[in-house]
Amino acid sequence: MWFHPRVAIRRLPDAAELDAARSRTIPDVLPGPGDPPARVLFCGINPGLVSAATGHHFARPGNRFWPVLHDSGFTPRLLRPDEQGELATWGLGITNMAPRATARADELTDDEVVAGGRRLRVLVAELAPAWLAVVGIGAYRTAFAQVKATVGEQDERLGATGVWVLPNPSGLNAHWSREAMTAEFARLRSRTRT
């Protein structure tokens, strides 16, 4: 059993379950009818194996997405990955650049990331969020052919949608502390207030 800051989760998937999750996909979490308009669509690189095995985005213990989302003020309380559906009630959503689950994002090919960028453009055109927030500078650079992009607001827009690149919240990203990551998420949040 592993412990989330608010609740004990049943258990992590075992090795066989993780292996079976390779190449699986998980559905997007998107605002629908009756939800507020989409403010921010967060785009991960691709599902990790724990996410694919559980069906929940950013589910691996040590991933800082859910704590940083709360710390930066996007959510009024810390959500567990299995509560991801609640994001729609705040006009938030989650998708992935590449849909295929892998143990590490560097297992993806550039072609998969570029194809994911094309799919993402279509999704953004349909959903029309105020902001697309890509969590992972390398994936953004590859998918959008922006080799000099840095974290933060981008000059590029997708129609009326602004584009913001956030640091990857994976526990493997040691370059960003939780505090620095929270500050960057909060910069985006300050632009989403209505």
- Please tell me whether residue 44 adopts helix, strand or coil conformation: strand
pLDDT of residue 6 exceeding 60: no
Q: With a cut of 60, say whether residue 126 has pLDDT above it.
A: yes
Asked if residue 184 lies in contact with residue 151, where contact means CB atoms within 8 angstroms, the answer is yes
Per the structure, the count of domains in the chain is 1
Tens digits of residue pLDDT in 75-87: 999 999 999 999 9
Domain containing 13 equals 2-192
Report, as an integer, the average pLDDT of 98-123: 93
Domain containing 36 — which CATH number? Answer: 3.40.470.10
What is the value of pTM for the model shown? 0.91
Higher pLDDT, 77 or 194: 77
- How far is it, in rounded angstroms, from Cα 113 to Cα 102? 13
